[in-house]
Chains A and B, each alone.
Chain A
Amino acid sequence: MAGADTISREELAAFLLRLADDHLILGHRLSEWCGHAPMLEEDLAMPNMALDLIGQARVLYQYAGAVEGRGRDEDALAYLRREREYTNCLMAERENGDFAHTMLRQLYFAAFMEPMWETMLSSTDETLRGIAGKAVKEVAYHIRHAGEWVVRLGDGTEESTRRMKAAVEALAPYVGELFESDDVTKAVAEAGIAPKPASLRSRFDAIVGPIFAEAGLEWVEAPFTQTGGRRGLHGEAMGFLLAELQFMQRSYPGAAW
């Protein structure tokens, strides 16, 4: 019988780190909007969502550290790894671009994670069941928030529509990577810990589709899929992001307050 005990520590830790890296890096990107949002409510909303994502990253890193058993705590995993050791999806690390780009990326990631968390409510892994129980509700707010903006901007002024269409074009090559399979996703799926990413695609489409329809946006098929994040191969933006993210712990090791 498949179960959480049929998977190796390395594979489970690798899966947890991917998930944690996605949340940390996207949370960091969102936090960059703090103080720069187009209106006060958004200045509260984006750091709030960043807080959700970074909070989810923290519990995932804590668990990953315990599973891998190499004595690394959440800070060591978040702040003291090298670029090639991060396995977040490339979408998360992309520069924020304008508000339309940020909101569309948020919608995509939330529409990917909602069915993922929802499936993990019945994971064979008890810790992940607990984390999913909370996260599935938090991510529902992210979908609603980002979805409303995609509709408002896509179906808004000439300028906002132009920008939202540009965001759809720009992000199209990064959607496919979310649903990729490899040895790690196969191992966690076989152990009943998490769903196969490809199995989430129809539910992603069922969330994004109606929002696009209401926004008057057309789905753009990407000419190619940008990939590599799960193997630690990142874009140019990642190095700059990590420089800022890691600065404090690199300069003042063990700093705490």
Chain B
Amino acid sequence: MGGTGTITSFSPSTGVRRTGRDPWPDPGWCRPVDEGQRAYRAAASVVDPEIPVVTIEDLGILRSVEVDGDTAIARLTPTYTGCPAVLAIELAVEAALRDAGFEPRVERVVSPAWTTDWITPEGRQKLRDYGIAPPAKASNSIRALFGETEVACPRCGSGETARISEFGSTACKALYRCEACHEPFDYFKCI
């Protein structure tokens, strides 16, 4: 594969120059392009509509992308069974594959079931930077029914936090408050 994988953008209105990961690095014109890789990269760049700092690759919900002729088949697994973002994500993946020149097909895979352990280390850091405490490693157990999960504040790092509500703004988040810096924050629930 060619290209450096990074891109620099420049905004003339703000004068801000940014360097970041290029979602479309130069595939290298002198070599045959691996269509599977190209399709995967197109699908993997789709972001979560509710947490737009993480991609579906970061979340670990993009299981595979397969190219068969002109058709690219992306297999996705839902995070939570009733996650309303599933459809939006599937449509975004279709659009991304179509933009990359493929005839898109999206399949939903339920087995094996996604767990928050599939979120990549990079995804966990992005969540933290965004102000969402990443999930504890799968320790959810009803045996600890009334026990408290240790959740560190994503802003100040304090472990002195309290749960305000088990169910927050989206199906995947709970609402917490930091007792040290007094900021409320979302916790990505462990599942």
Which residues does A use to contact B, with CB under 8 Å? Answer: 41, 44-45, 48-49, 51-56, 58-59, 114, 126-127, 129-135, 137-138, 140-141, 143-145, 147-148, 151, 207, 210-211
Contact = CB atoms under 8 A, between A and B. Distances in A.
Contacts of A134: 78, 80-81, 110, 113-114, 191
Interface in B151-187: 164-169, 171, 175
B110 A130 contact: yes
B146 A148 contact: yes
Contacts of B78: 55, 134
Q: 5 shortest A-B CB distances, which residue pairs?
A: A55-B82, A130-B111, A133-B113, A41-B165, A55-B81
Nearest to A136: B113
Contacts of A41: 164-165, 167, 175
Contacts of B164: 41
B145 interface: yes
Q: Which of A53, A56, A138 has the most CB of B within 10 A?
A: A138
Contacts of B115: 137
Contacts of B165: 41, 44-45
B82 A54 contact: yes
Given A54-B82, A138-B81, A143-B145, A133 B111 contact: yes
A52 B82 contact: yes
17 contacts: A45-B167, A48-B171, A55-B78, A58-B81, A130-B109, A131-B81, A131-B113, A132-B113, A133-B111, A133-B113, A134-B80, A134-B110, A137-B115, A138-B191, A140-B142, A144-B145, A144-B146
A144 B82 contact: no
Contacts of A54: 82
A140 B140 contact: yes
Contacts of B113: 130-134
A131 B108 CA distance: 12
A55 B167 CA distance: 16
